[in-house]
Every structure is written in structure tokens, then in C-alpha cells.
Amino acid sequence: MIVLGAGAVGVELAQAYSELGSTVTLLEVMDRLLAQEEPFAGEQLLAALRERGIDVRLGAQVSAVRRDDASVTVQFSDGDAVVADEILVATGRRPRTDDLGLETVGLEPGA
């Protein structure tokens, strides 16, 4: 399994699938895990995940994702690629509230 995104959700699910027996590759565009947390937390977690056999790739610039009949291929901008049976995308979320009329009740759309 490929997990795209190494925030709290991505890291937790990568660890869970690994514990359930999957071979997991965790991809993160940033240069560390848990970018919203203190750096030492990401460093300790990185060591623990790698110790458990999870392939963690930091600074992973994904250029394409392809699915064929049996697998998913994630292509990186440097030409490297990772192939797995499945991909889990945990890259964050943003509210989609721009067209709900929230400004009419004093709220800022998208916040």
C-alpha cells in the first residue's frame, strides 16, 4: 500500500496497515513527518516507522499516479516510481463553503 501524506491521519493509517501485514510506503512532500507538530515528534516517529519496516520517503514530489488492472503506480518528478496494490490519499482537507452564502450570516467562506 502507498499512503500519500504524512500528517496525523496518513501516519496513523500507514502504521495500522503495516501492523495488519501490508507492505507500506509512506510518501510526504515536506522534509519531515507531522509538519504541523514540533520537529522532534516527527523525527522520533520517523525512526519508529522505519524500525517497523515502513518505507518512508520525505520530499517526495509526485508527478503522476496511474492505476492499471492490478496495481497503482506513483511516479516522482525525479523519474523514480513506486508500485503497490492500493493507494490511500491523506493529504488534508479544505472546507468547500465558498458558494453556501455564509457571508449573509457573518461567516467567512472557506474558513
From residue 60, alpha-carbon distances to 13, 77, 92, 108 in Å are: 18, 8, 16, 33
Please report which confidence band the pLDDT of residue 106 belongs to, taking 50, 70 and 90 as the band edges: confident
Rg (CA), the chain: 17
Judged by DSSP in three states, 74 sits in strand
Distance CA 71, CA 23 (A): 14
Give me the pLDDT at residue 100, please.
Answer: 82
Judged by DSSP in three states, 28 sits in strand
* pLDDT above 90: residue 72: yes
* pLDDT above 70: residue 111: no
Report the CATH number of the 2-92 domain: 3.50.50.60
